Amino acid sequence: MSDLAQSSKLPAVHEDDFDVIPFEEAPYSGRLSIFEILKIAWRSIRANMLRSILTALGVIIGVAAVVALVSVGNGVRQNVTDSFSSFGTNLLTISSGQGGFGPPGLVRGGGSQTLTIEDAEAIVALADDRIEGVAPANQSNNQQVKADANNTTATIVGTWPDYEKVQNAATQAGSYFGSTDVETRKRYAVVGSEVASDLFPDVDPQAVVGQKLKIANVSYDILGVLEEQASAGFNNPNTNIIIPLSTFIQRIERNDYEGKPTVSTIAVKVEDPRDVEGVEADLTTLMANLHEKVSEDDYDFNIRNQANQLESVTAVFSTLTTFLGAIAGISLLVGGIGIMNIMLVSVTERTREIGVRKALGAKPRDILSQFLLEAILLSCVGGLIGILIGIAIGYFSTDALSVPFVLSIPSMVLAFAFSAAVGIFFGFYPAQRAAKLDPVDSLRYE
């Protein structure tokens, strides 16, 4: 009998498998491995699949929103930055009225045009070595343009030949008009690549040179076709038609300021980007003298430099992107509260299971890890799915807005880390509540 009692302490060991270690001699760690806890957590997620998906949905939407919004915001910023840098950082733009910002060439609303051709001539007269080119410009949007049977809508820009180097608008075929052509008000035109292809479909740009087009029933000779340029966000340079400024004032839009013909902007290209600020100061003095303005508050012009402008635009977009990201972050927070809510319900629902597990030897730590890991698993899987959906939304919306698709790795890492943190933070309280349950009470819980 005592022999039997002894033997009962052994597991069934069959004679044919002596190499099997008896249970009593098998090693054990005394603690639950992380893998086992993961398995337990995953099983309970799987057991309530619909509920788990709905719970994770809060996090999915939050993370997707963060990733998508930041990606679209960065895309728009990238687009604006690109168009700014295509003009070069050594460009100064003088325009009428007080400050503000916007891409060059865009006339700010309100206020009359106070810049004159004389202003531009005065700048040229400075004969400053640091200045590479001066291009005063007027423009007229949505002009109907015709060539034979075809017509299109274009933006007519009246300017000087320096426009080519000042605005980085080189020709792919033909050339610009010269300064004598400006003096003699020649009806010459240099057309954007889109104007050329609209008016002369399937015609080689080389063959477009020498053709004629009509603006407001006046015929112009096409001298050149511009290279295709990146869209500047607000206006498309490929639909421009560049004509001599004098011709523009005579034929397209007559305007005066105290009896002198006006221009909306004067673009000045500085040789060396490091001289930009010095030239800007000199031009400010010059313009103030020309316009007889003493105080800065009276200035009827303003000079903007690309670098400053780019900085302020970038800053605005960064703020906007951060702001949008933060709003999306709030939805992530709401998702976290959803997880906490469900975890609390789950703990209550599984009180008896917790009691049984404790009776069988689960330590408070084991129960805590089980529920905490369940919450983290929900939020992390939600986070991963959210990132994928966010990337997809970002991709398609940047495509629709025709801005570059910028994948922001930091925003994805941040969103994922945040969702994991949400899981830990909002999972901790329910998990701790489960861990603290009294085994006696929870075993009796119905």
Binding positions for another protein, rule: CB under 8 A: 2-13, 15, 20-21, 23-24, 26-33, 36, 43-44, 47, 352-353, 355-366, 439-440, 443
Question: Nearer to another protein by C-beta: 25 or 202?
Answer: 25
Report in angstroms how near the CB of residue 380 gets to another protein at its nearest: 22
Question: Nearer to another protein by C-beta: 5 or 149?
Answer: 5
Residues 6+ apart with CB under 8 A from 350: 44, 434
Neighbours of 31 (CB within 10 A): 10
CA atoms of 371 and 432, how far apart (whole Å)? 8
Structure tokens at 314: 């970038």
Contact by Cβ (8 Å): 154, 143: yes
Instruction: List the 260-263 sheet strands across, edge first.
Output: 115-116, 260-263, 256-257
Beta strands in 129-204 (DSSP E): 131-147, 150-159, 171-174, 188-191
Report in angstroms how near the CB of residue 352 gets to another protein at its nearest: 7
445: three-class secondary structure by DSSP? coil
Report in angstroms how near the CB of residue 374 gets to another protein at its nearest: 13
Question: Nearer to another protein by C-beta: 274 or 436?
Answer: 436
Question: Nearer to another protein by C-beta: 327 or 440?
Answer: 440
Question: Nearer to another protein by C-beta: 260 or 436?
Answer: 436
Question: Nearer to another protein by C-beta: 21 or 316?
Answer: 21
Q: Report DSSP state, residue 215.
A: E
Distance of CA 418 to the CA centre of its chain: 21
Question: Nearer to another protein by C-beta: 361 or 410?
Answer: 361
Contact by Cβ (8 Å): 97, 302: yes
Question: What are residue 267's phi and psi, to 5 degrees?
Answer: -95, 130
Question: Nearer to another protein by C-beta: 23 or 234?
Answer: 23
Contact by Cβ (8 Å): 230, 86: yes
Report in angstroms how near the CB of residue 17 gets to another protein at its nearest: 10
Contact by Cβ (8 Å): 227, 236: no
Report in angstroms how near the CB of residue 83 gets to another protein at its nearest: 59
Contact by Cβ (8 Å): 68, 393: yes
Contact by Cβ (8 Å): 82, 406: no
Question: Nearer to another protein by C-beta: 30 or 410?
Answer: 30
CA atoms of 99 and 303, how far apart (whole Å)? 8
Report in angstroms how near the CB of residue 312 gets to another protein at its nearest: 60
Report in angstroms how near the CB of residue 34 gets to another protein at its nearest: 12
Report in angstroms how near the CB of residue 364 gets to another protein at its nearest: 6
Which of 53-84 are b and which e, b meaning 16 or more Cβ less than 10 Å from the residue's Cβ?
A: eebbebbbbbbbbbbbbbbbbbbbbbbbbebb
Report in angstroms how near the CB of residue 3 gets to another protein at its nearest: 6
